[in-house]
Structure 1
Amino acid sequence: MKLNKIFLFLPVLLISIFTLVSCEDDSVDKASTPNDLVSFGDYPQVVGINSGETIQIEGKVYATTTTSSDRVINLQVISQSLYNDANPADQAVAITTANPDYFSVPATVTIPAGSREGVFQVSVTGLDLYDENGVNGKRIVIGIVPSTDYASNATYIGTHAVLPTDVEDFEVISDRMVLKIRENFLCSENHITVQIFTDGYGEETSWELYDADLVLIASGGPYATATPGGGETRDLCLADGHYVFVAYDAFGDGMNDGTNAGYYKLSKYDAEGTETVIAQNGTFATDETVEFDLP
């Protein structure tokens, strides 16, 4: 009788011991296996800054698991792209355009033990934020440096080799944080913005703005090829009066290529920054004209 009880008890004991050992092994693996996914938060982010002002912008990285020790994630500023260099007409990869003299990014960010979140600060000074065409706004693009200690989101752009003998013409784009830094626009008259959001054929899109005497006062485009969501936002300070805006599409199919819906948008902002949309559309043929009056 006692012998039977012992035989019945042994399998239960062995299962319990095996379970305890397995749980301990799992916890060790989770703490040491480089399968943790690390990524940035929701970007791009548009940040306004006064001319000459220095501000701190908070950035965050997130991990899928917690660990028992601090994790140090290496950061880098993305200032060039092999894909863009090989395809100058198709600037599909967002890179940093801001002057490095006026911003700084830490080399690392730490995710504390027991946490899934790490916080870092990007310092930016509001200088040299207009490009050669007078467009307000430049980018700071930050990437996570690849490591065997963690994984990061990645996609390929270009032609990925299928066989070892194929020519590899592609670029790996890891998870990136994109900051769009714009100088706050000061206007004592009518603050107007012209926003262009391109479809996949930005090179077909351009626009012009005329005053009441049909004198050209502003224009933009063509834009980058095959870059959906490209374009610009132009700030204008206009006196009271009558204006004529014309959007053009060189191919004659408007700003919707059938897959990507682009558009133009004219807006007016009051002193409190409240937006009033004057006109917005992307569905037209060769051109579309909008006439409006200020105030």
Structure 2
Amino acid sequence: MKKLAYILMMLITGASLQNCEDTYLPPELKYITFAKTAYSTGVDVGGTTTLDVTVYTGSIAGSDKTFNIIVDGSGAADGSYEVPSTVTIPKGTNEGVIAVTLSDNNLGIGVNNLVIDIENDGINSVGNSTTVSYIQNCTEVSGSLAITFDGYGSETSWEITDALGGVVVSGGGYADGQVSATESITLCSGRDYTFTIKDVYGDGLSYPANGTYTLTIDGTVKASGGGDFGSSESTDFDTN
């Protein structure tokens, strides 16, 4: 009996040692991804702001890890952003920050978009890109555009562009026989704009009756006209 007990004890001890040696260790999660797929902010007139874009890796870094950054700025104003070329995950963490600097250079009134990606290093899987959307903060002024059509509303359209030529508001798609239309407009205070009214037939607002248009911003008439202005008529104005 003692011999049998000894043999059983040895078998159990051996199995225990084998289980310790075969303990499963999961492989390191090799990926990097942005914390969010979209960010948005505003930039004060003449100012700058910094936006922190956070990235995470799948595991705690045993040493500093650096990744290359790819930026698509085709949807943003030239000179309005600075993005570092790399992001570093410090040793002992799994988090890094890309400090994006945004400035009021040529922003206009529209939305600017930066698309940021992390370059694949051949080792880590890379998550989806993130988009940084930003606008110029401004004091808004409201107004209206009143149009009396000549009988062929489908021929009439209009737009307001900023000093950089970007369309900030526009209208059209009116119906023939429609007598009039009134459009609400919101712009930024202290800016230069151009109002343009167009007629696809080329006779303005002149047939079969004479039509008119009046653009009023913050209680002041900024553009007006009517009759036969040809294919288009433009008026520069400001919101000072």
TM-score by length of 2: 0.56
CA RMSD of aligned residues (A): 3.8
Matched, 1:218 2:196: no
Residue in 2 that maps onto 1:8: 8
Partner of 2:135: 182
* Residue in 2 that maps onto 1:224: none
| Mapping 1:132-171, distance limit 5 Å | 136-153=110-127
SS in structure 1 of the partner of residue 75 of structure 2: coil
Distance 1:43 1:50 in 2: 24
Residue 71 of structure 2: aligned partner: 77
User: TM-score, normalized by length of structure 1?
Assistant: 0.47
Q: Which amino acid aligns with 2:80?
A: Y
| Count of residue pairs the alignment pairs up | 170
Question: Do 1:185 and 1:235's aligned partners in 2 also have CA atoms closer than 8 Å?
Answer: no
Structure 1 residues 4, 178: closer, same or farther in 2, change over 3 A? same
Distance, in Å, in 1 between the alignment partners of 2:138 and 2:173 is 24
CA change 1:5–1:66 in 2 (3 A) is: farther
Q: How far is the alpha carbon of 1:233 from its aligned partner?
A: 9.7
Residue pair 1:43, 1:178 contacting (<8 A) in 2 also = yes
Compared CA separation, residues 268 and 44, structure 1 to 2 (3 A): same
Question: Which structure has the larger Rg?
Answer: 2
Q: Calculate percent identity across the aligned residue pairs.
A: 20
* CA deviation profile, 1:87-119 (whole Å, cap 9, x unmatched): xxxxxxxxx332453322122222334433222
Do structure 1's residue 58 and structure 2's residue 11 form an aligned pair? Answer: no
In structure 1, which of residues 106, 125, 139 is the aligned counterpart of residue 103 of structure 2? 125
Partner Cα distance (1:233, 1:64) in 2: 43
1:101 aligns with 2:58: no
Residue identity opposite 1:22 in structure 2: D
Residue number in structure 2 paired with 1:21: 21
Instruction: Answer 1 or 2: which has greater strand percent.
Output: 2
1:168-210: CA deviation from partner (whole Å, max 9, x where unpaired): xxxxxxx1111112111223x32x8xxxxxxxxxxxxxxxxx7
SS at match of 2:14: helix
SS of 1:12's equivalent in the other structure is helix
Listed as ranges, the gaps of 5+ residues in structure 2 are 150-156, 175-183, 188-217, 220-240
Partners of 2:48 and 2:104 within 8 A in 1 = yes
Match in the other structure for 1:111: 89
Paired residue for 1:39? 33
How many Å separate the matches in 2 of 1:101 and 1:183? 14
Q: Do 1:136 and 1:235's aligned partners in 2 also have CA atoms closer than 8 Å? A: no
Aligned residue type for 2:119: V
Structure 1 spans left out of the alignment, 5+ residues: 80-95, 154-174, 193-209, 221-231, 237-244, 249-265, 270-293
Tell me the CA shift for residue 122 of structure 1: 0.8
Task: Summarize the Cα distance change of 1:18–1:233 in structure 2 as closer, same or farther, 3 Å threshold.
Answer: farther
Would the alpha carbon gap of residues 62 and 139 (structure 1) be closer, same or farther in structure 2, given more than 3 Å must change? same
- CA positional deviation for 1:47: 1.5
Q: Distance in 2 between matches of 1:126 and 1:37?
A: 35
Indicate how the Cα distance of structure 1 residues 213 and 233 shifts in structure 2: closer, same or farther if over 3 A, else same. closer
Q: Which runs of 4+ in 1 moved over 6 A?
A: 266-269
The alpha carbon displacement at 1:217 in A equals: 5.5
Return the offset for 1:213.
3.7
SS of structure 2 residue aligned to 1:15? helix
